[in-house]
Each structure stands twice: as structure tokens, then as C-alpha cells.
Structure 1
Amino acid sequence: MFLISFLLFVAAGINDVLVNNIIIVGPLLAHYGIFMMFLFQSISIARNFSLGFVEAETLARQVTQKNEELEGTKQELTILNERLEEKAKEKTFELQSKLDQINKDLKLAKSIVQSLTLIPELEPFLKISVLYKPLADVGGDIYFVKKIQDGYVRVFLCDATGHGLQAALYTMMIQSEFERLNLVATRPNDLLYYMNQHFYDKNAELRIYFPAVVVDFDFSQNLLKFAGAGTQNQIIHKQNGEIVVLENTGPIVGILEQFRFGITDVKFEAEDRLFLFTDGIFEELNEMDGTAALEELVDLIKETRDLPLENVTTYIKDGLFQKMQKTVWKDDVTCIVFEIGNFLFTSA
């Protein structure tokens, strides 16, 4: 459009130059050329403005449409967020309810385990001090002290698998089997034999394996009877300072069929002390070298000879923390100290 108007203007100008120089005869057309150029330019501007206005209206409609779509999407997202919040609240409430139930079950399990580990009155035969630190509310370590009859006491200590509810369930099963067999097993190794056979037969389904220690105190003969199933060597600290090592007498419970466990008999005297413990102490001292860990523990035990019994486990705990350079355990820890009473002197 601009090119046409410009060409008309130039043609009119050339025409006027030729007429003025009497080269051709005709009217002057320059003013018509200017008019036509302005006319065409006005039409072009008006047309471009009209197209721009139409395009602006189209864009405005598109923007409005997009805004409406965005607003709809926003409303959908708002509804979706509200639903998600409701779902999240429902799930949070559901999880909290389950967590509360689990905590309730753990508290019940803890109270049951505590009731099972109650120690009967054993004086003047025995005095007992216990260091029991489960990693969770309910740990895998469990012990029973039973007075079979006057002058005869049986101790059972084991380390069941896991912590929390799993450990509580295993503990209940072990305790049930212990109570069933305790009165029929006349010796510690017999009890381990019967328990081993029971769990071996059940382990196709349950897969419960655990180390255990059984000790009988026969005060009529001043005799200690010991049997161990997959445990660390246990320690007797004699009144004269001598250390007697009670070596393990068989594999862990539930792993070998019809295994006959060995038994160790040791004469005891007044104020002799028996130290029973689970592997948590060894893992704290030296997880890679059991021999070195036992030596360190024996050194600690020797230092307690002149301490009152009630201070022995505290001294051992503080000594372990000092050696480990920390103040928390990484596994269940149990250490039970038995001191032979002075009744022996009066009965002699």
C-alpha cells in the first residue's frame, strides 16, 4: 500500500516537471499525487490499527479464557488439597492410634517382663545385684531366678533375638517353655537339652535361636552347677580373689538336634561371687576380640572384690563407660552378680 502511494506521488512529480519544461502538454498532478499518497497511507494506518485492535481483542479473549481455565484449575487444586489434607489427617490419626496401641502393648510387655524377672527372697543363701539395661522398653535379654526348694536355687539367663514387641513375644515363648520344663529337669544341662529340642522342632516355623546360661545353686552341698549354650565364658570371683572361668558347654539353643550339653560343678564358699552376663558387655568392650573383652571385664571384676555387693554393678557400669568413652549402650546389657551368703559359716 505504501509502495503504490509512493509510486503515484513520484509519477505526479515527474509529470509536473515535464509539463513545466514544456516537454509534454497536460495538467499539473503533484497535488493529486500528494493527496493519493496521504489517502493510501491513511487507509494503511487505519487497516493496521484495525488489525491490531482485532488482534488485541483476540488476545484479551484468550487471556480471559486462560484466566478462567487457571481459576478452574486453582479451584480444583484447592479442592484436591483439602481432600489431601483430610486424607493426611485421617492417616495421621490412624497411624497415631496404631502407635498408641503399640506403645500400650510395649508398656504391657514391659510390665510382664518385669514381673517375670522378679527375684524371690533368697537370703541368707544368696544376695543379688542386677545391671539390666535393655536398648528399648523391652529388650532381648531375659533372666529368671527360681527357688526350686529350700536350699536350691536355679538361674536362667538368655539373649533372645530383637527388641521391642518381637523380643517380648520371644521372651513369652521362652518363659513358657522354661516354666514347663524347669520342674522336670533336675540338672542345668538337662534343662538346656529339653529346651534345645523343643525349639529345634519348632524352628522350621519360628526360627528362634538364642544363647542361654543355666546355673543351679545347691546349698546342701555347697555346689554350683553350670551349663552354657553358646554363651561367653562366665566368671566366679572367689572370696580369696581367685578367678574361676566357667566355660561354655554347648551350642546356642535350637540349632542342633538331640545335643547333650556339658555341665561344670564348682564348690563355693561364703562371699564367693558369680558374674553372669550377656554378649552386650562384650560388644561394648571389644566386639572383634572376645578374649580381649573377657580380660578387660575380668580386670574390672577384680577391682570390685572389696566393694559391697550393692556397689558392684554400678562400678562395672561406670568402668565400662570409662573404657568405651561414652555413656550409652548399643545393645541390651545384662550383668547379674550373685554373692554366697554367710549361712555357710553358721552351718559349718
Structure 2
Amino acid sequence: MPGKILLAQQETVAAQAIYQLLRDEGYHIMRAANLPETERLLQQLPDLLLLDSNLDDLHQTNRWSDLAFQCQQDSISCLLYSSRVQDCGLSDTAPSWVADTISRPDDPQEVLFKVAAQLTIRRLTYEAELANRQLLKKQQQLEEYQRSAAEIQKSLLPSRLPDIANLEIAWRLVPCEQVGGDLFNVVRLTEDTVLAYVLDVSGHGISSAMVTVSVYQSLSPHAGRIVRRPLNKPPYFRLLSPGEVLQQLEQEYPLERFGKLFTISYLLINTRTGHVRYSNAGHPPPLLARSDGSFQALKAGGSIIGTGCSGPFEEEEVLLQRGDRLFLYSDGITEHSNHHDQQFGQERLFRKLAANRKRALEPACDNLIETLKSHGQDIIFKDDVTLIGIEYLGNGLP
């Protein structure tokens, strides 16, 4: 679309030639013969002011500054020329707010080139400012989505874990700047059976948070149908084993449906006997820290949920003795790196938990998180950091 140009000039042969030249090029021309008319027509926001430096009353006190203020306020570029036809020194004396000068107004090529250049600059500037406004709007929307995702994640976390006989439980979650997909829960299913799980949905933001919500609901003993199945005789339900639960999750959350993968560790703990049944789906294996200082990684399981793996998820059992501890965690711990790209790693995690075995559970968890931060040399966490510690206080039964 042709630009709108305000031509402020004395009535001369050269001025008429410029007017006719620009009009023939298809530009919309407004004309002003003096400064008051120029200031009035500037209110119509032309794309360009083509200003004759010899315009009557232009050199009166403050008129240049008044004109400059009006042009700068409305982002109107100004091309300056002299109706004396040729003024080679004009570029040296032009005010700083003038965008450019035309040294030969009798040269059609120079006039058209400089007019087109200023109009192109104005158009590109407008497009850049528009793109920046749109980008800012999208950034604000993204930040709002991130806040929403953080609130979703926060709402799913237990405000306090249940008091369960024979178990002491501690947990820590340090969210990263971009909301991740970590979630955990510890729930009493029966008088003697406790469910504990930790999961990590791939990616960050609102989409990961929504998948987290869905999985949370699926694993709810009351709202979901994966954790237990109804029976028509007492006790009128059956708890699915960890391997069965993970197989059900694999069927419910295919990648093509949700666009997300997730890992999970799933444990059923008998608080009376100390028996633990567990299975993992691609998640870092829970650690069993024995009271005698020995460690065992609970590795049984299968692949990540969502990959379409049809094979069974292996499950195993371990027996807890008094003082034994289980630690469930996310890869935000083992993969946290320092400035030398050295990950914290599972081996370092083992050593730190071994060194803390004589501490109470809560201080032991706090100390591990502080050690993790120290290892990272104050680098911000790129992923959620989740840690659950469970200590068995019962006597156990064979």
C-alpha cells in the first residue's frame, strides 16, 4: 500500500516537480506551505514528512524543537531538503532527529530512493514492534500457563502424609524453574497395606501437568479403577499387584493418545509384616538402605509407560526389618550436574545415604538435598527434585 507523505515546502518550481514525481509514483500526498499547516497536518499521522529547510517561519525561536517533538512523539520520520535545489552542506547542519537529507531534490532517482528507504524502514519498524508485542503477549501467556501448571502440580501433592503405624515418612520436592512432571503419593489402601509411588512425566509445562493429573486420578484408590478391582464377595475388592498396575497404565496411556511418556516406581508395603512388593517402569530404582549399612537397588520392572511395550512388568518382593529405609526419588537427583557437567549419580547417592543412616529420617533427607545443591555449585535445577524416605519401625514377620 502506497505511503502517505506530508510535503512541507515553499511554492517553487522544484517543489512542484517533487510533488508531481511522488504523485506519479502512487504516493498519497498532503501539502503544507507553512509551519502552522505542517503542524496541523502532522496530526493526521503521515508516514513521512518531506520538509523544505527554507520553509517560512521554520527558523523562528523553538519552531525546530516543536516540530521535532511532534515527529518523535508520533514516530514520523523526516527527510530534509532545500528548495535551493542543491545544498551539499545540508547533511552537516541537519538536526539530529532528522532521519536523512536529500542533497539533490532535482534528481528524481535520489528523491525516490530516499523516500522509499524511509518508508521501508518505517514499515519494518512497525512490523518489528508488532512482532515484539505479539511475542510479549505469548510470553505472558506462557508464564500464565507455567503458573497454572505449578498450581496444578502443587494441588496434587499431599499437604501432609498420613500417620501410619510402623512407618515414618519424610519427603522433599524442589521444583525446577520450568514446571516438571514429578508427582508422588503415599496412601493407605487397607489396614495393613500402604501404596507408595513416584512418577515423572516427560517434558515441562501445562501439557505435562495435565497428564500428571490424569495419572494421579487413575491411581486414586477411590476415583480410579487401576489400583483395585471390585469383587462380589468380601472384602469386595482385590488389590492389583505392582506389575498389573503398570501393565494397566501402559494400556491407558499410549504415546499416540497423550503425546507424553512417563516413568514410575510403584510399591505396596505391608506395615505389619514388612513385606514390600514393587515394580518400576523405566524409573530410577528405589533404594533399600538396611540398618546394617548395606544397600540394595530395587531394579525389577519394565520399560517406560507409553512406549507400547506389551511384555509383562517384572515385580519382586523384599522384606523390611526394623530400622530399614526405602528411598524413592526422581532422576532430578541423579542427573543434577555441576559446572563441569559431572552428574550427582546413583553411586554418590548411595554413599550419601549410607553416611546419613544414623541420622533421623527428616535430617537425613534435608542433608541429601543440601549435598545435591552443593554438588551443583548453585546451578539451578533443570528438573524437579523429588525424594521420599520411608523407615520401617515394626518388628516384621517371616
Taking structure 2 as the reference length, the TM-score comes to 0.61
Of 330-339 and 70-79, deviating more is 70-79
Is the radius of gyration larger for structure 1 or structure 2?
1
Answer yes or no: is the 8 Å Cα contact 2:165–2:271 preserved in 1.
no
Q: CA RMSD in A?
A: 4.0
Seen in structure 2, the aligned counterparts of structure 1 residues 327 and 127 have a Cα distance that, compared at 3 Å, is farther
Instruction: Name the residue aligned to 2:367.
Output: 315
Write the distance in 1 (CA, Å) between the matches of 2:186 and 2:331.
19
Instruction: Name the residue aligned to 2:96.
Output: none
Instruction: Name the residue aligned to 1:189.
Output: 243
Write the distance in 1 (CA, Å) between the matches of 2:194 and 2:275.
11
Write the distance in 1 (CA, Å) between the matches of 2:11 and 2:208.
75
Taking structure 1 as the reference length, the TM-score comes to 0.69
Q: Which has the higher helix share?
A: 1
Match of 1:141 among 175, 182, 185: 182
Answer yes or no: is the 8 Å Cα contact 2:181–2:202 preserved in 1.
yes
Instruction: Name the residue aligned to 1:153.
Output: 194
What secondary structure sits across from 1:255 in the alignment?
A: coil
**CA offsets 1:18-45 (integer angstroms, 9 cap, x no match):** xxxxxxxxxxxxxxxxxxxxxxxxxxxx
Answer yes or no: is the 8 Å Cα contact 2:300–2:316 preserved in 1.
no
Q: Which has the higher strand share?
A: 2
| 2:375 partner letter | K
Instruction: Name the residue aligned to 2:395.
Output: 344
Write the distance in 2 (CA, Å) between the matches of 1:97 and 1:253.
33
Write the distance in 2 (CA, Å) between the matches of 1:227 and 1:152.
16
Answer yes or no: is the 8 Å Cα contact 1:159–1:278 preserved in 2.
yes
Seen in structure 2, the aligned counterparts of structure 1 residues 289 and 256 have a Cα distance that, compared at 3 Å, is farther
Write the distance in 1 (CA, Å) between the matches of 2:329 and 2:282.
13
Instruction: Name the residue aligned to 2:290.
Output: 238
Instruction: Name the residue aligned to 1:105.
Output: 148
| 1:186 partner letter | L
**CA offsets 1:213-264 (integer angstroms, 9 cap, x no match):** 0011112332111201112232111111111121142101121343210112
Seen in structure 2, the aligned counterparts of structure 1 residues 126 and 104 have a Cα distance that, compared at 3 Å, is same
| 1:225 partner letter | R
Instruction: Name the residue aligned to 2:115.
Output: none
Match of 1:198 among 228, 249, 252: 252
Percent of matched pairs sharing the same residue: 21
Answer yes or no: is the 8 Å Cα contact 1:285–1:320 preserved in 2.
no
Distance apart, 1:328 and its partner CA? 2.5
What secondary structure sits across from 2:308 in the alignment?
A: coil
Q: Are 1:333 and 2:385 matched, yes or no?
A: yes
Q: Are 1:128 and 2:92 matched, yes or no?
A: no
| 1:194 partner letter | Q
Answer yes or no: is the 8 Å Cα contact 2:185–2:197 preserved in 1.
yes
Equivalent pairs counted in the alignment come to: 285
